[in-house]
Amino acid sequence: MTTELPDLDHTPWPPELAARYRAAGHWRGQTFGAWLTALSRAYAERVAVIGEDHRWTFAELDARAHRIAAGLVDLGIGPGDRVVLQLPNRPEFLAAVFGLWRAGAWPVFALPAHRDSELRHFVEQAEAVAILTVDVHERFAHAEAARAVAAAVPSVRHVLSVDAPEWTSVAAAQPRELPDPDPEGVAFLQLSGGSTGLPKLIPRTHDDYLYSVRESARICALRPDSVYLAALPVAHNFPLSSPGVLGALHAGAASVLAPRPDADTAFRLVERERVTITGVVPPLAAAWVQAAARTSRDLSSLEVLLVGGAKCGRELAARIGPALGCTLQQVFGMAEGLVNYTRLDDPEDLVLETQGRPISVADEVRVVDGADREVPPGGTGALLTRGPYTIRGYFRAGAHNATAFTEDGFYRTGDLVRRRASGHVEVVGRAKEQINRGGEKVAAEEVEDHLMAHAGVLDAAVVGVPDEFLGERTCAYVVPTQGAEPTAAELRRFVRERGVAAFKVPDLVEIVAAFPVTGVGKTSKRELRAALAAARTEKG
């Protein structure tokens, strides 16, 4: 039975579990702002963050965050206000995020790849009061796009660009004591990959997130002289917290923010900054492995390469250590919470064949069949989880929460896994409708929606196609309206022009007369995928 749930900003943990997490020391009652204060005392003159043209110590980052917090409060941005942040990998990202945290506002972590339609969705869903962005990044005029969204959404009072004079004055405000927010309250809204449409907003608390950050730093063996390279967009949960720039801060280590993740850029920074640890998605790992064979850069400082976000197959996994001269660490995480790592001292077969085991003994994991019954040990099933850093509900999504969580609070990850006796999990596939395009998550329904907006499209169904390089690519099946003859190129252009991230434009478009249907008349994606696989086998 599914009961209606209210549209809460944040679904709290049950009191007895919260008490247990506190008693165990998982939750320490510390906010991000207080945490940075403590770090800046411990590591004041050590370098915290390195960009293309800045290098800030912990003390400087801390001072900047204090000023920005005061500047934001002066603009009327305060406790509980949502601010959509769309910043590329620049040191200003960290200063702004800690400034927002100290002001009690909730950053909403958009990615630089998001375009008008996603930005508008986040702003509307979050009822954001401000958008904080840059003027231009990778030839896209972000501030202009943000102003257009702001004009259409009444909740938005400010569009701020870190490249504009107003930001200089925000960042130059007189610092002052501000009330510390509730550590068990929401700190920010992270984005889900968007399994059933556009990304959903994920409320994470200071206490829960900091626990995962501290444990990640420990599991990845970060030390004060480690150097973390953020190659992926830093607002994403993986480079933010697994162990990411926050894990590096926790250890007193420096983070280098790469403007782009390509091998040329990353290798240049590894050599220049003596990077010891970084994280990439599998397609990027494959590109780096290839590039490493020809590079003249000195990569000898690199100790650990984390690979995650999508399945890293054994073939690729086995090439990483030899090619890059470092240890592979697999990571299987989700913005909703649960993160699994292979451990640095795990035997080789676990490192090459599994996606790791949970961070915490307090992480509860169940592997279940279609009726939510535990499958026998070693069997494949759907992964359910709850624990001290896994959410109990999405932001204002009562109806969705009723199906995304079990009645006893387990999150339905949508992933199909097999578990070994050691607790390590192997990701086998996904139960939910999401295409994982080299770590970038594409929600089938969202792309279908865009296609359906075209006058020549009667119905659309988007499925993932196995792809050697990306793991999966998207294929859109389209049934044209009568008399219409839309071409694949036209439809791809149409989706792109609706203002969506490039990775969501269908890679392949197949025009068909009708879709296969299930017993009750629903489009059968299972059959579509099977037809596609058969067609590919025929072609050889």
Q: Give contact residues for ligand DBH (rule: CB under 6 A).
A: 237-238, 241-242, 308-309, 331, 333-335, 339
Q: Distance (Å, rounded) from C-alpha 285 to C-alpha 306? A: 9
Give yes or no for a contact between 444 and 478, defined as CB atoms under 8 angstroms apart: no
Q: Which amino acid is at 474?
A: T
Provide, rounded to whole angstroms, the least separation between the CB of residue 239 and ligand DBH. Answer: 9
Q: Between 37 and 237, whose beta carbon lies closer to ligand AMP?
A: 237
Q: Between 183 and 356, whose beta carbon lies closer to ligand DBH?
A: 356
By CB under 6 A, what part of segment 182-201 binds ligand AMP? 192-193
Give yes or no for a contact between 227 and 247, defined as CB atoms under 8 angstroms apart: no
Considering the rule CB under 6 A, would residue 11 count as an interface residue with ligand AMP? no
Considering the rule CB under 6 A, would residue 450 count as an interface residue with ligand AMP? no
Judged by beta carbon distances under 5 to 8 A according to partner kind, the member of ligand AMP, ligand DBH, none in contact with residue 192 is ligand AMP
Long-range residue pairs from 371-376, CB within 8 A, at least 24 positions apart, any chain? 372/406
Considering the rule CB under 6 A, would residue 438 count as an interface residue with ligand AMP? no
Among 85, 306, 335, 391, binds ligand AMP (CB under 6 A): 335
Among 61, 229, 334, 359, binds ligand AMP (CB under 6 A): 334
Provide, rounded to whole angstroms, the least separation between the CB of residue 286 and ligand DBH. Answer: 17
Judged by beta carbon distances under 5 to 8 A according to partner kind, the member of ligand AMP, ligand DBH, none in contact with residue 401 is none
Sheet holding 55-57, edge to edge: 55-57, 47-50, 254-257, 227-230, 277-280, 304-308, 327-334, 337-341, 357-358
Give yes or no for a contact between 63 and 51, defined as CB atoms under 8 angstroms apart: no
Considering the rule CB under 6 A, would residue 90 count as an interface residue with ligand AMP? no
Q: Between 70 and 248, whose beta carbon lies closer to ligand DBH?
A: 248
DSSP 41-108: HHHTTSEEEE-SS-EEEHHHHHHHHHHHHHHHHHTT--TT-EEEE---SSTHHHHHHHHHHHHT-EEE
How would you write 460-489 as a 3-class SS string? EEEEEEEECCCEEEEEEEEEECCCCCCCHH
Provide, rounded to whole angstroms, the least separation between the CB of residue 359 and ligand DBH. Answer: 10
In the block, residue with structure tokens 């059968």? 524
Q: Distance (Å, rounded) from C-alpha 455 to C-alpha 486? A: 9
Helix (H) or strand (E) holding 434: strand 434-437
Considering the rule CB under 6 A, would residue 243 count as an interface residue with ligand AMP? no
Provide, rounded to whole angstroms, the least separation between the CB of residue 436 and ligand DBH. Answer: 8
457 backbone dihedrals φ, ψ, rounded to 5°: -110, 120
In the block, residue with structure tokens 């994991």? 365
Judged by beta carbon distances under 5 to 8 A according to partner kind, the member of ligand AMP, ligand DBH, none in contact with residue 327 is none
Provide, rounded to whole angstroms, the least separation between the CB of residue 484 and ligand DBH. Answer: 38
Q: Distance (Å, rounded) from C-alpha 21 to C-alpha 183? A: 13
Q: How many residues form the binding site for ligand AMP (CB under 6 A)?
A: 20
Q: Distance (Å, rounded) from C-alpha 59 to C-alpha 53? A: 18
Considering the rule CB under 6 A, would residue 427 count as an interface residue with ligand AMP? yes
Instruction: Choose among 441, 506, 501: nearest CA to 145.
Output: 501
Name the residue whose CB lies closest to ligand AMP: 193
Give yes or no for a contact between 12 and 406, defined as CB atoms under 8 angstroms apart: no
CB under 6 A: which stretch of 53-61, 70-78, 166-174, 303-311 binds ligand AMP? Answer: 303-311
CA max distance for the chain: 71
Chain CA centroid to CA 479, Å: 33
Instruction: Choose among 204, 212, 121: nearest CA to 394.
Output: 204
Q: Between 207 and 415, whose beta carbon lies closer to ligand AMP?
A: 415
Q: Between 94 and 478, whose beta carbon lies closer to ligand DBH?
A: 94
Q: Which residues of 46-75 are buried (b: 16+ CB within 10 A; e: fewer)?
A: bbbbbbeeeebbbbbbbebbbbbbbbbbeb
Judged by beta carbon distances under 5 to 8 A according to partner kind, the member of ligand AMP, ligand DBH, none in contact with residue 107 is none
Among 40, 226, 342, 355, binds ligand AMP (CB under 6 A): 355
Considering the rule CB under 6 A, would residue 333 count as an interface residue with ligand AMP? yes
Q: What's the first-to-final CA gap in the chain, in angstroms?
A: 47
Provide, rounded to whole angstroms, the least separation between the CB of residue 314 and ligand AMP. Answer: 12
Partners of residue 230 on adjacent β-strands: 257
Provide, rounded to whole angstroms, the least separation between the CB of residue 394 and ligand DBH. Answer: 15
Q: Between 143 and 219, whose beta carbon lies closer to ligand DBH?
A: 219
Q: Distance (Å, rounded) from C-alpha 22 to C-alpha 31? A: 14
CB under 6 A: which stretch of 105-113, 324-332, 387-395, 488-496 binds ligand AMP? Answer: 324-332
Q: Between 203 and 308, whose beta carbon lies closer to ligand AMP?
A: 308
Provide, rounded to whole angstroms, the least separation between the CB of residue 281 and ligand DBH. Answer: 8
By CB under 6 A, what part of segment 123-182 binds ligand AMP? none
DSSP 243-301: SHHHHHHHHT-EEEE-S--SHHHHHHHHHHHT--EEEE-HHHHHHHHHHHTT--S--TT
Provide, rounded to whole angstroms, the least separation between the CB of residue 339 and ligand DBH. Answer: 5
CB under 6 A: which stretch of 106-114, 270-278, 319-327, 333-341 binds ligand AMP? Answer: 333-341
Q: Between 244 and 456, whose beta carbon lies closer to ligand AMP?
A: 244
Judged by beta carbon distances under 5 to 8 A according to partner kind, the member of ligand AMP, ligand DBH, none in contact with residue 311 is ligand AMP
Considering the rule CB under 6 A, would residue 216 count as an interface residue with ligand AMP? no
Q: Between 31 and 237, whose beta carbon lies closer to ligand AMP?
A: 237
Chain CA centroid to CA 480, Å: 35
DSSP code of residue 5? -
Name the residue whose CB lies closest to ligand DBH: 333
Judged by beta carbon distances under 5 to 8 A according to partner kind, the member of ligand DBH, ligand AMP, none in contact with residue 242 is ligand DBH
Binding site for ligand AMP (CB under 6 A): 192-193, 237, 308-311, 330-335, 355, 413, 415, 427, 430, 436, 441
